[in-house]
Structure 1
């Protein structure tokens, strides 16, 4: 299996969001709304980076309003652990053009 472009511990390149990334994003929407005390009428994953650890961290840019974005960090455990995805951190007040960095 090739590890080019996806070394353990490093983040991948930024990629357009996929249906799987949108599904992961949807799973943590309630967690984010609880932490920010806000409801988001739009919750669309735009792009993401991933980081392989003992599971996978996803750094996802999410559109939450016409011109308002949030960056979220979501952890997905290894499949055999059978745990739900969890929101680990977030950054608010982002724009469409803000770089998706490790946080």
Structure 2
């Protein structure tokens, strides 16, 4: 059953894998190369697929937030980077956004 956004949860191997798959897209969008790209927290919600909101550490005190859509397996399961917010801190809450 579909629902709204989940509570904020600690990242898992699965969510890190999703972040790893969109890293090159994030680097292109931000015009930056990230040596570190570690998923810390996430939220999700279902609809016509799953939309993820990630907090990602990109080195030292630098964080970004990602909005990523994953299509349902019956539609190919592809990942789409929807938006990126830069200049975040570890204390910034994961709130839905669109850029």
SS of 2:36's partner is: coil
Segments of structure 2 that go 5 or more residues without pairing to the other structure are none
1:57 partnered with 2:57: no
Displacement after TM superposition at 1:83 (Å): 4.1
TM-score normalised per structure 2? 0.94
After TM superposition, the score normalised by the length of structure 1 is 0.90
TM-align CA RMSD: 1.0
Query: Does the alignment pair 1:17 with 2:48?
Result: no
For 2:3 and 2:84, locate their aligned partners in 1 and report how far apart those are by CA, in whole Å. 20
Q: Which moved more, 1:83-92 or 1:40-49?
A: 83-92
User: Which of structures 1 and 2 has the bigger CA Rg?
Assistant: 1
* Matched residue count: 97
Please list every run of at least 4 consecutive aligned residues from structure 1 whose deviation after the TM superposition is greater than 2 angstroms. none
1:92 matched to which residue of 2? Answer: 86
Provide structure 1 residue ranges, at least 5 long, that are not aligned to the other structure. Answer: none
How many Å apart are 1:84 and its aligned residue? 2.1
Q: Deviations over 1:28-66 (max 9, x none)?
A: 000010011100010000000001110000000000011
Distance 2:84 2:24 in 1: 13
**Is 2:67 the counterpart of 1:76?**
no
